[in-house]
A and B are shown apart, each in its own frame.
Chain A
């Protein structure tokens, strides 16, 4: 998705103003010359200047006939749009449910859903999900000693 520079500039300007305003609430300790917000505020001023420049250049481009927003072909194909959205959705799913479901079940659901959606045959998708989850569990939990969440399987593994 390509947007006209003026839109990017406007977003940057709004973000810079918001961060600047929020960082004015940071305290200034007695005896200190600068508050904790001084550095982010300086960066925000520079970001706002860049935003202003992009708004200016975007409007100039726009007068040359450029559209505000240009979408790739796949944005108009609902199937592909869902396929692409599956990448961030899978991460979001893990953030929401991994504590409850645990790593193993979350991983199986993510791998199965994605590989089936991408066009893998069901048997291959199941093999991929099981093998990948097993390898990840072995590498991170057994070799690297990372505490991946067990979730609802905790009572099965350790007893209730």
Chain B
């Protein structure tokens, strides 16, 4: 209770509220622009938050990401162009409502369901994280090693497309994380005599490069063919909304559950939560034939789900230090920068700060209704902003942001190299998110691996010595070897025998 009172004081400080409000407006702005993602908005925000105290810094990330995910629904509804990948699952349905003359209803559903989903996600985070943290206090390096392995495995395998490419992305991230001083001997690996490289590759320029620069290259390639869209005048987004939301209340509840659970799964994130919820809505609907014609049922479930997923993703990030998605991977980087090591002990050492973050989660989602309404009113101006203005300005921001972290051009060089790498990877269906998770968790996984081996005096069976670590180890190894063995078995059964 004492922590909660201190937290209230920390949040209701005019400076903190101003920062959180400004980050919300920034998130709405970036999220509403087609082609610029919520992750990019968060990555661009980090260089500015780097210079702030922990509460405004992390509060800014929370409000920015929540607003950006909602704002992605605006161009999805009005133009059939999802503002962020999280809106892609229901873009067709939302646009079908616009074609049916009901863009206001679709946007009203988006704003209210996003806010309610976000509040439920925050509630789950605030209730479950401290309980899980108490349980996780008994964890040693063994359990953390397996948890990180499990998280990274999920991140690599869940990604859409080829699992091998997911693993490739993860290994690239883990290899990038090996640069800098070796944990055991202190030897500067891959530094090539450069003292800056001996400190390791900084996370923020890496993320700005992979998420923002690669996106800018893609935007530049479509510059000539891009024509600014025309948007008609919108009426009130709240009229007639009550009966629709009441009718689909169970859909919304299922969306919340799906969102929180999938959001907490490393590598899955809000986008996947929306896809799964859309599929559930259609599968269990009494009127599946109406899907695709501007039916609000799927929209209610999926928009609830993606914002609930955001809160869910914070649970493993705060409790175990294992991010649920790319945005929480950035958050973990920020927590480390602010001297707050994520993990169960954070609840003992920085309880007041954590409560402050939970309060900001609630505030941001409540404010989403008002700010979202305002964003929709001015959406025609945001969406139609010319690319020839946006691309150079964002690029300059990326350069200065990468430079500012260590006041060094090495950051800008890292951003350039990883931006080109990120562009090549995405063009060839190699997902970026596992690489980022690899960069974030690389050192943690290596440290826990060697600490555990040292405890066991080199005996690898130490990894199965404690009950929880043994269970986690068996689950992880089953995921690694299970699918290939099953495939081998199927191909063996399917091969006709010649005797």
Give chain B residues whose Cβ lies under 8 Å from the Cβ of A2: 427-428
Residue of B nearest to A5 (CB): B428
Give chain B residues whose Cβ lies under 8 Å from the Cβ of A26: 182, 187, 189
User: Is A34 touching B392 in the complex (CB atoms < 8 A)?
Assistant: no
Give chain A residues whose Cβ lies under 8 Å from the Cβ of B224: 74, 79-80, 83
User: Is A110 touching B392 in the complex (CB atoms < 8 A)?
Assistant: yes
Smallest beta-carbon distance B411→chain A, Å: 10
User: Is A50 touching B187 in the complex (CB atoms < 8 A)?
Assistant: no
Measured in the bound complex, the distance between the Cα atoms of B188 and A37 in whole Å is: 11
Give chain A residues whose Cβ lies under 8 Å from the Cβ of B450: 34, 39
SS class, residues of chain B in contact with chain A: helix
Measured in the bound complex, the distance between the Cα atoms of B189 and A133 in whole Å is: 38
Interface size band for B: 35 or more
Q: Which of B69-77, B111-119, B310-318, B395-403 contacts A (4 or more CB under 8 A)?
A: B395-403
User: Is B395 touching A136 in the complex (CB atoms < 8 A)?
Assistant: no
Q: Is B481 in the interface zone, CB < 8 Å from A? A: no
Smallest beta-carbon distance B395→chain A, Å: 6
User: Is B388 touching A87 in the complex (CB atoms < 8 A)?
Assistant: no
User: Is A8 touching B428 in the complex (CB atoms < 8 A)?
Assistant: yes
Q: Is A64 in the interface zone, CB < 8 Å from B? A: no
User: Is A86 touching B175 in the complex (CB atoms < 8 A)?
Assistant: no
Measured in the bound complex, the distance between the Cα atoms of B219 and A87 in whole Å is: 10
The contact string, 1 if C-beta is below 8 Å from chain B, for chain A 136-160, is 1001100011111000000000000
B373-406 residues with Cβ-Cβ distance < 8 A to A are 386-389, 391-393, 395-400, 403-404
User: Is B428 touching A3 in the complex (CB atoms < 8 A)?
Assistant: yes
Smallest beta-carbon distance B18→chain A, Å: 13
Q: Is B121 in the interface zone, CB < 8 Å from A? A: no
Q: Is B470 in the interface zone, CB < 8 Å from A? A: no
Q: Is B164 in the interface zone, CB < 8 Å from A? A: yes
Smallest beta-carbon distance B32→chain A, Å: 20
User: Is A146 touching B404 in the complex (CB atoms < 8 A)?
Assistant: yes
Give chain A residues whose Cβ lies under 8 Å from the Cβ of B216: 87
Known: A36-B184, A88-B420. A46 touches B220 (CB 8 A): no
Q: Is B167 in the interface zone, CB < 8 Å from A? A: yes
12 A-B pairs in the complex with CB atoms less than 8 angstroms apart: A27-B187, A36-B182, A40-B189, A46-B167, A88-B217, A91-B416, A95-B412, A111-B392, A118-B392, A119-B223, A146-B400, A147-B407
User: Is A54 touching B168 in the complex (CB atoms < 8 A)?
Assistant: yes
Give chain A residues whose Cβ lies under 8 Å from the Cβ of B427: 1-2
User: Is A39 touching B413 in the complex (CB atoms < 8 A)?
Assistant: no
Give chain B residues whose Cβ lies under 8 Å from the Cβ of A110: 392, 395-396, 399
Give chain A residues whose Cβ lies under 8 Å from the Cβ of B189: 23, 26, 36-37, 40
User: Is B389 touching A115 in the complex (CB atoms < 8 A)?
Assistant: yes
Smallest beta-carbon distance A96→chain B, Å: 9
Give chain B residues whose Cβ lies under 8 Å from the Cβ of A98: 409
| Chain A residues packing against B (C-beta within 8 Å) | 1-3, 5, 8, 12, 19, 22-23, 26-29, 32-37, 39-40, 43-44, 46-47, 50-51, 53-54, 57, 72, 74, 79-80, 83-84, 86-88, 90-92, 94-95, 98-99, 103, 107, 110-111, 114-115, 118-120, 128, 132-133, 136, 139-140, 144-148
B402-460 residues with Cβ-Cβ distance < 8 A to A are 403-404, 407, 409, 412-413, 415-416, 419-420, 424, 427-428, 430, 446, 449-450, 453, 458
Give chain B residues whose Cβ lies under 8 Å from the Cβ of A107: 396
Measured in the bound complex, the distance between the Cα atoms of B225 and A119 in whole Å is: 12
Give chain A residues whose Cβ lies under 8 Å from the Cβ of B404: 140, 144, 146
User: Is A136 touching B396 in the complex (CB atoms < 8 A)?
Assistant: yes
Smallest beta-carbon distance A50→chain B, Å: 5
Give chain B residues whose Cβ lies under 8 Å from the Cβ of A132: 392-393, 396
Give chain B residues whose Cβ lies under 8 Å from the Cβ of A27: 185, 187
Give chain B residues whose Cβ lies under 8 Å from the Cβ of A99: 409
User: Is B395 touching A91 in the complex (CB atoms < 8 A)?
Assistant: yes
Known: A2-B427, A144-B51. A95 touches B395 (CB 8 A): no
Residue of B nearest to A107 (CB): B396
Measured in the bound complex, the distance between the Cα atoms of B388 and A114 in whole Å is: 8
Q: Is B174 in the interface zone, CB < 8 Å from A? A: yes
Give chain B residues whose Cβ lies under 8 Å from the Cβ of A40: 175, 178, 189-190
User: Is A72 touching B164 in the complex (CB atoms < 8 A)?
Assistant: no
Smallest beta-carbon distance A39→chain B, Å: 5
Smallest beta-carbon distance B479→chain A, Å: 15
Q: Is B330 in the interface zone, CB < 8 Å from A? A: no
Give chain A residues whose Cβ lies under 8 Å from the Cβ of B428: 2-3, 5, 8
Measured in the bound complex, the distance between the Cα atoms of B424 and A8 in whole Å is: 10
Give chain A residues whose Cβ lies under 8 Å from the Cβ of B175: 19, 40, 43-44, 47
Residue of B nearest to A110 (CB): B396
Smallest beta-carbon distance B186→chain A, Å: 9
